[in-house]
């Protein structure tokens, strides 16, 4: 695929994968992106997952049309991008490997190679001229690993953004939900903990004139770039993206679920713009995480279980904390037949999160909702919709 006169896409689509990084459901597969810049000197940016070495090399050869590459730029060492470095070097032994010093250390750890005699170690602000195309490297530590660099081509005004601006999903399947849905789940799942570092990267690139963003996953972005960059500004600063309320619940015999459905009904009656409900035991956990960061209010509804909270709720709360969950409004509905303790446990777990406003008015159900509980839920809905 030709992106500009000189830049080609040579990535691959993965429809075999069940879970990305061993935990993220990817019903539309995954793309591992890789690019070639054809100039007086030729540079390849990143490789692909181990299982696609032959397909990628074929794509590369087609793009090279008999020429040989001069550089392999390794922006990120996570194996979904680095696993074919040795495949590349076996094919093109004279090409120089370009990466950060941390990336070379990881290369040694992963593949027992560091190409000490044929490499270029780059750091923040270093440049590499290919002819017309002048590349500048920026470090992007923790977006999403410490060794990451991104690359700016000032000739075509292209930012090769590594994992930033990535998205779940293969590129040969049309994503009817649009870019943001799976890009948000990807961002909060994978990079979410490092909002500050991702925000620093946005600051670094803010003065560059960018026409195209080439990430390592998901589509190449070339129109209306402010849409993507503005969403990234919200996500990396833990801001509220959309008006609405998420209700995340667990229910053992359906009684907590009944309370959740009543709350949803009351919220909608009260005119709440959007109510997203997620069953933490059955729905995708990372959709729930994504929604918790997307909206400003989160209702947690769960049962007391072994004098603690139900395991899926506990997992959810730690998923949020791990990613720096903050600055949100929280309400709690607890259920407990003989010794309700869920609210207390949730409060203890959330203690380390910053800037949470936890509503005093919660609801305590003892087995099944009473008429009094129903009134409390009605009041809660009104308070949340204020
Ligand atoms: Fe797609 Fe952090 O690797």
- Given this model, what pLDDT does residue 244 score? 96
d(CA 301, CA 335): 8
**What is d(CA 231, CA 213) in angstroms, rounded to the nearest whole number?**
14
* CA angle (284 as vertex; 278, 290 as ends), nearest 5: 75
Quick one: tokens of 370? 């009473």
Can you give the pLDDT of all 386 residues of the chain as single tens digits? 899 999 999 999 999 999 999 999 999 999 999 999 999 999 999 999 999 999 999 999 999 999 999 999 999 999 999 999 999 999 999 999 999 999 999 999 999 999 999 999 999 999 999 999 999 999 999 999 999 999 999 999 999 999 999 999 999 998 889 999 999 999 999 999 999 999 999 999 999 999 999 999 999 999 999 999 999 999 999 999 999 999 999 999 999 999 999 999 999 999 998 999 999 999 999 999 999 999 999 999 999 999 999 999 999 999 999 999 999 999 999 999 999 999 999 999 999 999 999 999 899 999 999 999 999 999 999 999 98
- Which residues form ligand 1's pocket by a CB distance below 6 Å? 76, 78, 80-81, 144, 163, 216-217
**Interval between CA 148 and ligand 1 midpoint (Å):** 10
Determine which residue's CA is closest to atom 3 belonging to ligand 1.
78
Residue range(s) occupied by CATH 3.60.15.10 in the chain? 7-236
Q: How far is the CA of 81 from the centre of ligand 1 (A)?
A: 7
Q: Give the pLDDT score at 184.
A: 98
Give the pLDDT score at 73: 98
Residues with Cβ within 8 Å of residue 359, at least 6 apart in sequence: 329, 330, 331, 332, 380, 383, 384
Find the 144 Cα to ligand 1 centroid distance in Å. Answer: 7
Q: Which CATH class is domain 7-236?
A: alpha beta
Ligand 1 atom with the shortest distance to the CA of 148: 2
50 alpha carbon to ligand 1 midpoint, in Å? Answer: 13
Please report the pLDDT score of residue 176 as a whole number.
87
Residue 32 Cα: closest atom of ligand 1: 1
Report residue 379 CA to chain centroid gap: 36
- Third-level CATH fold of 242-384: Rossmann fold (3.40.50)
Q: Say what the pLDDT of residue 224 is.
A: 96
Query: According to CATH, where is 3.40.50.360 located in the chain?
Result: 242-384
Alpha-carbon distance of 135 to 127, in angstroms, equals 5
């Amino acid at each position: 695929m030709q992106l500009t006169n000189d830049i080609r896409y040579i990535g691959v689509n993965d429809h075999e994968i069940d879970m990305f990084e061993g935990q993220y459901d990817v019903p539309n597969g995954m793309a591992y992106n890789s690019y070639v810049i054809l100039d007086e000197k030729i540079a390849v940016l990143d490789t692909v997952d181990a299982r696609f070495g032959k397909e990628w090399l074929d794509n590369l050869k087609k793009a090279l049309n008999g020429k040989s590459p001069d550089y392999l730029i390794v922006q990120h060492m996570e194996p979904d991008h680095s696993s074919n470095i040795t495949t590349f070097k076996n094919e093109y032994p004279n090409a120089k490997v370009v990466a950060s010093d941390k990336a070379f250390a990881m290369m040694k750890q992963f593949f027992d190679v560091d190409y000490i005699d044929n490499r270029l170690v780059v750091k923040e602000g270093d440049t590499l001229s290919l002819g017309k195309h002048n590349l500048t490297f920026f470090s992007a530590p923790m977006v999403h690993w410490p060794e990451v660099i991104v690359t700016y081509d000032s000739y075509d005004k292209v930012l090769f953004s590594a994992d930033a601006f990535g998205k779940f999903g293969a590129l040969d399947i049309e994503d009817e939900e649009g870019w943001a849905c799976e890009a948000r789940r990807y961002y909060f799942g994978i990079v979410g903990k490092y909002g500050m570092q991702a925000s620093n990267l946005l600051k670094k690139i803010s003065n560059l004139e960018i026409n195209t963003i080439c990430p390592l996953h998901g589509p190449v972005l070339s129109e209306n770039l402010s849409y993507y960059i503005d969403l990234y500004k919200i996500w990396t600063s833990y801001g509220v993206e959309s008006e609405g309320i998420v209700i995340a619940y667990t229910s053992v015999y359906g009684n907590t679920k009944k309370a959740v459905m009543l709350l949803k009904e009351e919220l909608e009656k009260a005119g709440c713009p959007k109510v997203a409900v997620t069953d933490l035991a059955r729905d995708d956990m990372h959709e729930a995480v994504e929604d918790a960061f997307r909206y400003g209010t989160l209702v947690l509804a769960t049962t007391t279980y072994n004098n603690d909270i139900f395991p899926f709720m506990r997992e959810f709360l730690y998923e949020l904390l791990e990613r720096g969950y903050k600055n949100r409004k929280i309400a709690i509905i607890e259920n407990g037949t003989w010794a309700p303790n869920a609210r207390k446990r949730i409060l203890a777990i959330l203690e380390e999160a910053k800037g949470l406003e936890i509503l005093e008015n919660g609801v305590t159900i003892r087995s099944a909702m009473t008429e009094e509980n129903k009134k409390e839920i009605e009041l809660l809905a009104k308070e949340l919709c204020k």
